[in-house]
Structure 1
């Protein structure tokens, strides 16, 4: 539990210990310096504690439960940097804080979400512009809960080299990263994001692939049958900082070509910069409808992608064309078993769920199970199992079980939600989707078209936003 002393903030801002920052190499053109909260000149408006495991150094800052409780770091840096704050929050509520640099708030009410227990630590990152030389970074609680427990501040300066292991490239979704020279996206909608300097950017591919890319938030550009070093800037950009997003095309759950990211090629002397942080993470679990089959850009025009983009969230579609809820003897890919995997292929390794925690998970399954002879009893039992699996991986997430748009297995979906609710999990919800798909919103009898997916997203986005707000 949190330490709650009856002392003033001014008097408490005295807890400092001697020490020096620690420097780490993080790749070409970039370096990280760690500032432990227990080491001077850091100050903690509370106590340096060691009563929970997993912290770095000799302790962490445990502040009073009060508005204005604060931690302050004094750092040395060139102008561009990424701040990474390691923290633990064992409550179920967010512990938001204003993050200030040199007295100016650069991130008001930054979320420090629950990590499940006080022994579980995670990192919140923020790209900032600093002064050359000495800077102060301050976290001040904005609610009566005070701050999360703060372990250290990492300051990464310079830029990355564009390799798959470059920390400035954010791989959104599930990626197989076992080969440090070649990262492979595992499900629909997985994409990478980064920023970069210079006037050109090229993508290193292994073999032929179709892909979409967007620079500086512009329209997605579609490339077909490209391979090797792929120039994404045939017309050079203006000199300066730019952003990049790359997504490999998904057709009915399968990648068209060799979806293997081998790095970026930048101008001589140019570097990558951190991608802007997302407001949270949402995951969509489903079949070809969730993949966006029959829409103009597949995963990029599916309702999950649209909802994530509208709300400023990291988003991914754990979905495959033809997928079922239940793994069947005749070979239907069942998300009851494949949800925990890095991809849907046979023999796929387990996904590393420490990479991110979803705030909301949306399930749309049951359309295909009828064709594979799945009984209503089996469907309901497997749905309960999937809900429990998701809860085990995402302890704080709101789980939304959508009524399938064709109305299949609706009583069983509702009963599965009720079963986990009755067992004590109140953060699982059935969502009635009657009327979500307009008459002109289908491309066939099953799949929504672009109009249909936009209509679904319009209904679903405020629901996802409300559940994110309720757990923040």
Structure 2
């Protein structure tokens, strides 16, 4: 990533704790990426709405709430700059020139644990009580600040002058050391988005487990995210090792294999506004990658900007064929992805290799349709978006479990009913499996719903859509086969959606 400051860095000038509200200054900073000081102002005029990244002068790393925790008592450490909200702080005036430093992601403030006056005491985040151990005097020298706790009289520092990421931040008797000095970088972005998982400018497609606000986990295949951003670079913050794919500015998809940490997706872009789409290889079978999205990082002063997502979503429910297996460039070469793109819709694949319709010794999508992901213990899905269409392609794998004709039909009737309950206005398409398995039962399930007055359920006869030349084996379409399926299916769905 680029340095936090443009050169020359050490030019001295008025305090960065001064008011940043002047619109002309904000415009210059946002457009040119410059670090520009505002006119001098007294301490009580500090803009409490300006967020800062605090970079330690000794180590070059930034102040960070460890692991992005929102729990009271979580420790302060230094980390590589990612632009995440847990690396952003604002100065809340407490009077007499003192401030509380509020963490953006948690709204808690920087606190000397248990009000200790000892050198080396832990520095944590804690709910704002405006106590002496939460108030810090700020001695400002141009771009730099030294912070001394009101309760202890000790300076905020990186303990033992460490230069390692994750080293703890503590307090110590003020000595003017570089590890007690912090460079201030105002966080000013075109649309104000910080790139954290909760950033409203990031649009998520498919089912994502969002219970941890600092780490979103995609469920099923074909889940992805989109956003627009400013600046010349973008990186993804990953927890563990994963294969991911991305596209910048609508360009070709690029795979990065076995990556983790801060993963650069693009740099050297023209300064201005760009778009990003990011997704992950599905975690299933023998593949156990760590598909955990922990936010995006941008140039200093850059960030996400508001954009308008597609106004409709198509949900595809199925097995390995719907996933796009075994083709290596899935999901974006699979027919669900291609259909969604051609119709200008958001899309997702609630699909799993080996899935069946009925519960047995495989993924019974009748029940798993209601879950956030295919992971064991996955919570119930809250159906937070409204699908415009649901496309079901199930039955290929049920033949090995030998349900009776009535069992399969009744299960299909129930799956359609569950989809209808969650998506009252969706068009529902039941595809004949490409191997022709349980065709009669699928048609009967559709007819039962039609007879009940639901004209929005349709059977799609796929007979003759693909031949042997379109198959990887006797079951799975190759990439050309997926394109042929998309050619046939797109006008059918598009004709109903309008």
**Which range, TM-score by smaller chain?**
0.5 to 0.7
Q: Distance in 1 between matches of 2:354 and 2:231?
A: 43
The aligned counterpart of 2:260 is 227
1:397-412 alignment to 2 at 5 Å?
Answer: 397-412=426-441
Distance in 2, matches of 1:252 and 1:347, equals: 14
Q: Does 1:348 align with 2:374?
A: no
Flag structure 1 segments of 5+ consecutive residues without an equivalent.
1-24, 30-155
Cα pair 1:380 1:415 within 8 Å, conserved: yes
- Given the alignment of the two structures, is residue 242 of structure 1 paired with residue 255 of structure 2, yes or no? no
Please say if 1:208 is aligned against 2:241: yes
Give the distance between the partners of 2:396 and 2:193, measured in 1 at CA. Answer: 44
SS at match of 1:245: strand
Structure 1 pair 254–419 and aligned structure 2 pair: CA distance change class (3 A): farther
Q: Does residue 412 of structure 2 align to residue 413 of structure 1?
A: no
Corresponding residue for 1:120? none
Q: What's the offset of the Cα at 1:236?
A: 1.4
Which runs of 5 or more residues in structure 2 are unaligned?
Answer: 1-47, 53-188
Matched, 1:258 2:290: yes
Q: How far does residue 269 in structure 1 lie from its aligned partner after superposition? A: 0.4
Change (3 A) 1:325 1:262: same
Note the 1:66-465 alignment, pairs <5 A.
158-233=191-266, 235-250=267-282, 256-328=288-360, 331-353=361-383, 355-465=384-494
- TM value normalised by structure 1: 0.64
What is the alpha-carbon distance in structure 2 between the residues aligned to residue 276 and residue 263 of structure 1? 19
Q: Secondary structure in 2 aligned to 1:444? A: coil
Structure 1 position 439, deviation (Å): 3.3
- Deviation track 1:107-139 (CA, whole Å, cap 9, x = no partner) reads xxxxxxxxxxxxxxxxxxxxxxxxxxxxxxxxx
Shift of the alpha carbon at 1:275? 3.6
Contact 1:204 1:264 in 2 (8 A): yes
TM-aligned CA deviation for residue 391 of structure 1: 0.2
Aligned equivalent of 1:466:
495
* 1:377-410 Cα shifts (integer Å, max 9, x gaps): 1111100000000000000001000000000000
TM norm structure 2: 0.61
Separation of aligned partners in 2, 1:251 and 1:163: 22
Partners of 1:213 and 1:247 within 8 A in 2: yes
Q: Distance in 2 between matches of 1:338 and 1:181?
A: 26
The alpha-carbon distance between structure 1 residues 339 and 27, as it changes in their structure 2 partners (threshold 3 A), is: farther
Cα shift readout 1:122-177 (whole Å, capped 9, x = no counterpart): xxxxxxxxxxxxxxxxxxxxxxxxxxxxxxxxxx9832100000000001110000
- 1:255 CA drift (Å): 5.8
Q: What is the root-mean-square deviation of aligned Cα atoms in Å?
A: 2.0
Paired residues in the alignment total: 315
C-alpha contact (below 8 Å) 2:203/2:309 kept by paired residues: no
Return structure 1 stretches of 4+ with deviation > 6 angstroms.
Answer: 25-29
SS of equivalent to 2:278: strand
Partners of 1:255 and 1:291 lie apart in 2 by: 14
Helix, strand or coil at the partner of 1:250 = coil
Change (3 A) 1:157 1:199: closer
- Mapped partners of 2:283, 2:379: distance in 1: 22
Partners of 2:307 and 2:356 lie apart in 1 by 35
For the structure 1 residues 209 and 189, does the alpha-carbon distance in structure 2 shift closer, same or farther, using more than 3 Å as the test? Answer: same
